[in-house]
Amino acid sequence: MKVPNWLVQRASQTPDRTAVVGLERNYTFRELLNESLTVGGQLRDKGVRPGDHIGVLMSNSEQMVVLIHSLQQLGCVCVLLNTRLTVNELSFQIQNADIRYICTEESFLTYCPSADVEAILMLQELFNGSEQNSLNPRTEFELTQTCSIMYTSGTTGRPKGVLQTYENHWWSAIGSVLNLGLSDKDCWLCAVPLYHISGYSIVMRSVIYGIAMKIYREFEEEKINEDLEVGKGTIISVVATMASRLLAQLENRSYSPLFRCFLLGGGPAPISLLEQCKTYGIPVYQTYGMTETCSQIVTLPPEYSLSKLGSSGKPLFPCQLMIINSNEHGEGEIAVKGPNVSPGYFKQQEANKKAYHDGWFLTGDIGYLDEEGFLYVIDRRADLIISGGENIYPAEIENILHSHPAVEDAGVIGIDHEKWGEVPFAFVSVRYDVNKQDLLKWCEQHLAKYKLPHDVLILDRLPRNASNKIVRRDLVKKLPRR
Amino acid sequence: MKVPNWLVQRASQTPDRTAVVGLERNYTFRELLNESLTVGGQLRDKGVRPGDHIGVLMSNSEQMVVLIHSLQQLGCVCVLLNTRLTVNELSFQIQNADIRYICTEESFLTYCPSADVEAILMLQELFNGSEQNSLNPRTEFELTQTCSIMYTSGTTGRPKGVLQTYENHWWSAIGSVLNLGLSDKDCWLCAVPLYHISGYSIVMRSVIYGIAMKIYREFEEEKINEDLEVGKGTIISVVATMASRLLAQLENRSYSPLFRCFLLGGGPAPISLLEQCKTYGIPVYQTYGMTETCSQIVTLPPEYSLSKLGSSGKPLFPCQLMIINSNEHGEGEIAVKGPNVSPGYFKQQEANKKAYHDGWFLTGDIGYLDEEGFLYVIDRRADLIISGGENIYPAEIENILHSHPAVEDAGVIGIDHEKWGEVPFAFVSVRYDVNKQDLLKWCEQHLAKYKLPHDVLILDRLPRNASNKIVRRDLVKKLPRR
């Protein structure tokens, strides 16, 4: 099915509304369209053709938003590259994704494996074109066409390229609006990476809804709090650590009445954080989603944001949810279905066979539904620790550690154990000096004996990936030699 | 493509929100689902099968909303019958639409042509079922399935049954929300007939958005104004005459701050009315749509509601618009495209061939786009008066007559004329006694000579159909014998 070219339609409907509040300049929708077509003209003149896979290796900026739109206008597949990757990881993804050109900026040039692509296109060159050379916009978007490819954060195994169609992005935006509502005064703050679905989906919502997005180069709690205090944003996408840093910096101040909510994703949030938001009067829409579902797929409706603390909620309007292979407690793998779910991984027939069954996508995450059908996400299945036949979810232990006032961050993995098969091992970073024994005692007070960490190791900082998820395979490397 | 069963999904997401504020009772979404399944069970027990065409001949009520949902739950095609039809007209539609059963209420029983159907199901019987006999809801709706059939108001020619799919209703609701925004506090007032797309589409929006709809048996300006003054509604769908009656009754009072807007459809609105709304500070979203587009397809975005007075605006986000066969002034037939556009008329191959070209639907209406792409609807093509080679649009003359303080309603048709081929002839109803010559003089002051009505006839009331559109072929019958 075809739909009108989104940016053209938006620029026709509400040309003068602010589309992007950038680091150095703002764009209205009319300006955003014009700039995207000008940059699109440059891309075309440098040999970029419709259907090409184009890598984008950039930090958050208004130019990156323009570039994303330019590639859509050209009909290219935008492959979003994580700026924190090593050269080897980059090289793998570039080859794996059949990337022809890379668009990047000065600061990443040295990381760019130029041997793997036909050419590297520098941001500055793309933005000095003239309007006369502008691209003619496509009239329509074919919904089934691939719009973007993102590599899964790869907390387990080798990254896989997730295909995201225009249709996926469309239904994701629509599912969200039917839950969160919409005002033409909305402004969505984007302090998450644009190369990640959490950021990219804000670009899509902005153009589909006709609302502003405000871009931050990176996450700076002070600046964001300042903006939210004076009403410069109404919604912000955050992961747990970001929310926690915002609250710590906010102290006794509060947000503008225009502020609507945190959209909190990227893995289970510690209960302590949700309770803290509650005392601050900040509505939290806890959400569960992933690259494969083009952002949210399960979100807690506003009515329940406080009474169902810790739940990710119910499937968005166009989506469905099911727990499969559940144990006697009803805990099992989370399977999801919906038009926002990716058609599959790029060139990964085996992985696709494993992940897709009868139209359902098996997420690999473990969860359960309460008696009213609310989803509680427990953990990644791959992270499950099986100790003496008992299932132990790292997140449960992490939650307990998080609730200790000294603990800044916590991560738990399973280590081999002669008697029990596996036992949990904890890593923390701390706000102030604390005794390891205190932390273990804290755990004893809150956890069943079989769940107690075998040991706790204090690190300066826990390994988190670009989506702020704990990278457990990096924790393994930090284990003391035994 | 399949989507989750809307009402089931809505009742799961927001079970306790008010769905319907009825004449005698209210329903939450949970209650609405349960009642729809109970009534669905009754229908099933009376022999109604999925796929059946079921006629509904009822006045606005919460029961009618329930029945509409019951038929969706059963997978039946709901044929909405206009309660103002004569027995002969009804009989034609019932046969033409392959209706198996009719659901109706006491007051329409005598009009019901029982010979044409297998059985007539009375409202009361359908609502006394027990929950144990409830229908098992379908998991999913197939978007391409026909949901409803409505006969076009037939201001010209014989009525045709417009097929409306689930997909049509879905995209109509989504196109509207991206323009009007959404708050979980919204309540859409339904004082237009539920058997008409203007009313039926409110039922769909209510369940898709999770907002309340408030039902009026018929249009009562006093009651509606009372409700809007105290914040019992945020949006109301109106046609021009309704808006005009609301304002006349409102006098110097004003609506609650919760009130958001008039959604004004059903034909071109007189400029004088729009100006009056402006002075009252009432935001008006003028809109252009029809049964074939499942309600709105072109709506004036909020930014322009005052600066583009008289325009219907721009296509909704998923829709497209084009003027074809235009004359030297850019005036031509309005063609539209979008996923909310009906796949065609039921069993009308010839009419479908004429109306559909390359994915575009030819509306039969005349309009033009201004330099910024805003649509101005001039008139129905069939109503065009050609006088001495000049095109005369009845709506233009009607607008002038409307702006005369004494005129309550106005309608203009073309009559044969020896010299000019056709000339305009005006009909009015008046608020107070007024001289015919005064009205003609008024026209002379505002209209080119060739557009002046040949004569004016004062009637008690102008013939308007169930959608409040002037029925010009009935005006013809009122012409004085010549």
- Asked if B254 and B366 sit in the same domain, the reply is yes
Q: Tell me chain A's radius of gyration from C-alpha atoms.
A: 22
- Asked if B131 and B182 sit in the same domain, the reply is no
Q: Torsion-angle region of residue A149: left (phi > 0), alpha (psi -120 to 50) or beta?
A: beta
Residues A175 and B207: their CA atoms lie apart, in Å, by 14
Residues A45 and A135: their CA atoms lie apart, in Å, by 10
Closest CA to A324 of A267, A268, A364: A364
The residue that leads in pLDDT, A88 or B342, is B342
Q: Do B259 and B187 touch, CB atoms closer than 8 A?
A: no
What is the domain-level CATH number for residue A447? 3.30.300.30
- Asked if B365 and B425 sit in the same domain, the reply is no
- Asked if A214 and A75 sit in the same domain, the reply is no
A305–chain B nearest CA distance, Å: 12
In this structure, chain B runs to a length of 482
Closest CA to B197 of B227, B226, B234, B172: B172
Residues of chain A contacting residue B184, judged by C-beta atoms under 8 Å apart: 181, 302
In this structure, chain A runs to a length of 482
Indicate yes or no: CB of B4 within 8 angstroms of CB of A303.
no
Q: Where does the pLDDT of residue B268 fall: very low under 50, low under 70, confident under 90, or very high at 90 and above?
A: low
Assigned domain for B110 exists: yes
Residues A331 and A334: their CA atoms lie apart, in Å, by 9
What is the per-residue burial (b if ≥16 Cβ within 10 Å, else e) of B369-396? beeeebbbbbbbbebebebeeebbbbbb
Residues A366 and A393: their CA atoms lie apart, in Å, by 9
B180–chain A nearest CA distance, Å: 8
- Asked if B15 and B132 sit in the same domain, the reply is yes
Q: Tell me chain B's radius of gyration from C-alpha atoms.
A: 22
B135-141: average pLDDT: 94
Assigned domain for B345 exists: yes
Assigned domain for A166 exists: no
Q: Which of A381, A398, A432 is the last residue of a domain?
A: A381
Q: What is the pLDDT of residue B114?
A: 81
- Among A70-74, B317-321, B442-446, the range scoring the smallest mean pLDDT is B442-446
CB atoms within 10 A of CB A401: 24
Residues of chain B contacting residue A301, judged by C-beta atoms under 8 Å apart: 13-14
Share of chain B above pLDDT 70, in %: 96
List the single residue in B with minimal CA-CA distance to A320. Answer: B4
Share of chain B above pLDDT 90, in %: 72
Count of structural domains within chain B:
3
- Asked if A320 and A438 sit in the same domain, the reply is no
Segment B390-399, tens digit of pLDDT: 778 788 899 8
Residues of chain B contacting residue A318, judged by C-beta atoms under 8 Å apart: 3-4
- Asked if B389 and B332 sit in the same domain, the reply is no
Indicate yes or no: CB of A178 within 8 angstroms of CB of B178.
no
- Asked if A286 and A367 sit in the same domain, the reply is yes
Q: Do B171 and B338 touch, CB atoms closer than 8 A?
A: yes
- Asked if A93 and A188 sit in the same domain, the reply is no
User: Is pLDDT of B5 > 70?
Assistant: yes
The residue that leads in pLDDT, A181 or B308, is A181
Residues of chain B contacting residue A317, judged by C-beta atoms under 8 Å apart: 4, 6, 9-10, 13, 208
Q: Do B341 and B306 touch, CB atoms closer than 8 A?
A: no
List the single residue in A with minimal CA-CA distance to B183. Answer: A181
- Matching residue, tokens 């609301």: B246
CB atoms within 10 A of CB B51: 12
- Asked if B295 and B271 sit in the same domain, the reply is yes
- Asked if B468 and B432 sit in the same domain, the reply is yes
B30–chain A nearest CA distance, Å: 12
List the single residue in A with minimal CA-CA distance to B13. Answer: A314
What is the domain-level CATH number for residue B128? 3.40.50.12780
Q: Which of B354, B381, B408 is the last residue of a domain?
A: B381
What are residue A287's DSSP bridge partners? A299
Which helix H or strand E contains A394, and what residues bound it? helix A394-402
Q: Where does the pLDDT of residue B347 fall: very low under 50, low under 70, confident under 90, or very high at 90 and above?
A: very high
B326–chain A nearest CA distance, Å: 21
Range of the domain at B47: 2-142
Residues B272 and B310: their CA atoms lie apart, in Å, by 10
End-to-end distance of chain B based on CA atoms, in angstroms? 59
Residues ≥6 apart with Cβ < 8 Å to B9:
A315, A317
| Complex ipTM value | 0.85
Indicate yes or no: CB of A182 within 8 angstroms of CB of B177.
yes
Assigned domain for B238 exists: yes
- Asked if A362 and A418 sit in the same domain, the reply is no
User: What residues of B are in the A interface, CB distance below 8 Å?
Assistant: 1, 3-4, 6, 9-10, 12-14, 16-17, 174, 177-179, 181-184, 208-210, 301-303, 314-315, 317-320, 339, 373
Assigned domain for A167 exists: no
Cα distances (angstroms) measured from residue B457 to each of B60, B410, B434, B471, B475: 34, 10, 11, 16, 10
- Among A142-156, B45-59, B157-171, the range scoring the smallest mean pLDDT is A142-156
Assigned domain for A408 exists: yes
What are residue A214's DSSP bridge partners? A21, A189
User: Is pLDDT of B276 > 70?
Assistant: yes
Q: Do B389 and B417 touch, CB atoms closer than 8 A?
A: no
Q: Which of B334, B362, B381 is the last residue of a domain?
A: B381
Q: Do A153 and A62 touch, CB atoms closer than 8 A?
A: no
| Structure tokens belonging to residue A81 | 């590259």
Residues of chain B contacting residue A211, judged by C-beta atoms under 8 Å apart: none
Nearest CB among A4, A183, A373 relative to B12 is that of A373
List the single residue in A with minimal CA-CA distance to B7. Answer: A317
Residues B299 and B305: their CA atoms lie apart, in Å, by 10
Residues of chain B contacting residue A170, judged by C-beta atoms under 8 Å apart: none
Cα distances (angstroms) measured from residue B182 to each of A177, B188, B283, B369, B419: 8, 11, 16, 28, 56
What is the per-residue burial (b if ≥16 Cβ within 10 Å, else e) of B244-277? bbbbeebeeeebeeebbbbbbbbbbbbebbbebb
Q: What is the pLDDT of residue B265?
A: 86
Assigned domain for B157 exists: no
User: Is pLDDT of B306 > 80?
Assistant: no
User: Is pLDDT of B170 > 80?
Assistant: yes
What are residue A265's DSSP bridge partners? A239
Assigned domain for B161 exists: no
Q: What is the pLDDT along chain A (482 residues), one digit of tens a residue?
A: 899 999 999 999 999 999 999 999 999 999 999 999 999 999 999 999 999 999 999 999 999 999 999 999 999 999 999 888 878 879 999 999 999 999 999 999 988 888 889 999 999 999 998 888 999 999 999 999 999 999 985 555 578 999 999 999 999 999 999 999 999 999 999 999 999 999 999 999 999 999 999 999 999 999 999 999 999 999 999 988 899 899 999 988 999 999 999 999 876 677 788 888 888 889 889 999 999 999 999 998 766 766 887 789 999 999 999 999 988 889 999 999 999 999 999 999 999 999 999 999 999 898 999 999 999 988 777 787 878 777 787 888 998 899 999 999 999 999 988 888 789 999 999 999 999 999 999 999 888 888 899 999 999 999 987 667 788 888 988 998 76
Q: What is the pLDDT of residue B274?
A: 83
Q: What is the pLDDT of residue A379?
A: 74
